[in-house]
A and B are shown apart, each in its own frame.
Chain A
Amino acid sequence: MQGNTAVFFNKLASGKLWLQYCESCHKYIFYPRVFCPNCLKPDLQWKETSGQGKVYSFTIIHYSNLPEKSEQVPYAYAIVELAEGIRLAANITDCHPKDISIGMSVELTVKKYHYSYLHYFRPATMNRKC
């Protein structure tokens, strides 16, 4: 892993999710890139985000043959829409899969992953059930 991708994961060590923000068109972008894909200008700065979001869609994986994941079934694989408007893939953790619904509020929880970190989401504090 190198370049802007490495920067993204290294910044997770802060416990926060950082995204590139374009100073020209005033938008966050994801995934990390060399130029802003909206205006093709190089004016990208890393900015901390709120870590708040909503479940845009999700699936419960009942059958997985991926290493590490096969013992974790059933698990939730989701698209999360951040308050900043960006969508990304993540697992919804710290709750039972049957309690997940589209539109539910979730918050960032950074966990160790191999030699680095990974951004997961759990039900937002106010409506967490477990």
Chain B
Amino acid sequence: MQDAVITGIGELKPAIVNSGQTELDLLMQAAAIATSDAGLSKKEVDGLIVTPPSNDNYFMWPSQAAEYLQIKPELLDMVELGGASAVGSIIRAALFIQAGLCNHCLCLSGGIWDRRVFNTLEGKKKVMSQAEIDFELPFGPMGFNSAYALITRRHMHKYGTTAEQLAKIVADQRFNAMTNQNALFNDKLLSIEDILASPVIADPIHRLEIVVPCSGAAAVVVSRRDQAKNSCVRAINILGMGEAYTHNSIVYAADILESPVKKAAGKAFAMANLKPEDINLVSLYDCYPITVLITLEDAGFCAKGEGGEFVMNTDLTYGGKLPCNTHGGQLCCGQPSFAGGMSHVIEAVRQLRNEAGERQVQKNKVAFINGNGGVMSVESCLILGGD
């Protein structure tokens, strides 16, 4: 994507309890930070991509957002790919810009979720297909917890992956989060033992391995390279992108251990003409540690089935060999609706710009980012590069 660059980022501090703000209030604040970061006046924003609302009505949502922000985009869209929506919206913004349809596309995500969002029958049904409601719900699945538990259990069975190896991912991310004042969970380090001592919710998944829904918003501006403003700190190149789908419900995945990351990352690496060993840091969608582990395998950072050993022997902290989720990931920052997936993009941009402060990664030329929607159902991947 020669013509499209990331010029602006903006993120609100996530909140466990929303302080009476509407979704559009949250989106507007993130939009203000990102456009200002890109050195743009509001008038210059001529493209808008939003992820779906969590509470407000879907109908004409991009138009609702444009009205609230009082912008006049020439191209509007809503991207609904679950947790892959944020990365998916960056991909589409880059395509719109490459096609010459707009100069500055604002990608907005966020919403109001709380811990109970998936915990009521109605909340569960809201994220289920009719087939899931008819053929799965009567058996008492606990939403995403049980779906990812099915993957985790089979990975352990087939490859000998251990609970300790999975907990190591969470422990390393918590170490990273200690430097992030915007993280929700940064009060103390967690040991592997601490994580495994937390209650088992859906065996083999422990409470401290489950992302916490929260409220917040995040925004990214994608611009045409020749329209990027001087005041923009530094434009980040979009070197590669790819997306793929294999299933909706995990019950019908051809192989629950083979994610669409393989195809999506393969496309992104081919477009960038890079290999996994060229990557300096990764931002991997983390709703549960198994997603990080399978993404590392399927993107090619280690062989299939060796993810457990790989994460145990690889320092994933910001000073380590393969820095992963240097902001602490969603497991430490929470999941403010679809903005959870945007946090991975924003952290990678910070790192590539040398703006990550205490947790700045020294080798920071190229980053790999993925967004994961559903239950490893849809995967969107990006490879971003600094100068």
Contacts and interface: CB of A to CB of B under 8 A. Distances in A.
B121 A67 contact: yes
- Most chain-B Cβ atoms within 10 A of its Cβ — which of A57, A59, A68? A59
Interface of A: 1, 5, 31, 56-69, 72, 74-75, 77-79, 87-91, 102-103, 113, 118
A115 to B, nearest CB: 12
A81 to B, nearest CB: 10
Given A59-B146, A62-B199, A87 B140 contact: no
A102 B153 contact: yes
B357 interface: no
Nearest to B132: A89
Given A31-B135, A87-B251, A64 B153 contact: no
B202 interface: yes
Given A31-B135, A118-B138, A59 B121 contact: no
Most buried by A among B119, B139, B153, B199: B139
A60 B203 CA distance: 5
Contacts of A69: 140
B121 A61 contact: no
Interface of B: 119-121, 124, 131, 134-142, 146, 149-151, 153-154, 157, 199-205, 249-252, 256
A57 B142 contact: no
Given A31-B131, A63-B201, A87-B251, A57 B153 contact: yes
A96 B187 CA distance: 39
Contact of B136 (A5, A64, A89, A102): A89
Residue from A1, A56, A64, A79 having most chain B Cβ neighbours under 10 A: A79
B128 to A, nearest CB: 12
Listed residue (B124, B203, B205) with the most chain A CB atoms within 10 angstroms of its CB? B203
A57 B150 contact: yes
B246 to A, nearest CB: 14
A60 B136 CA distance: 15
A89 B142 contact: no
Across the A-B interface, the 10 shortest Cβ-Cβ residue pairs: A59-B149, A69-B140, A60-B203, A57-B154, A57-B150, A89-B136, A102-B157, A59-B202, A91-B139, A89-B251
Contacts of B124: 66
Contact of A89 (B141, B149, B204): B141
Given A77-B146, A113-B138, 14 more contacts: A1-B134, A5-B134, A56-B256, A57-B151, A58-B150, A61-B142, A63-B142, A63-B199, A65-B120, A68-B140, A77-B139, A79-B256, A89-B135, A91-B140
Given A61-B146, A89-B251, A72 B140 contact: yes
7 contacts: A56-B154, A57-B153, A59-B202, A62-B200, A72-B140, A88-B251, A118-B139
Contacts of A63: 142, 199, 201-202
B251 A64 contact: no
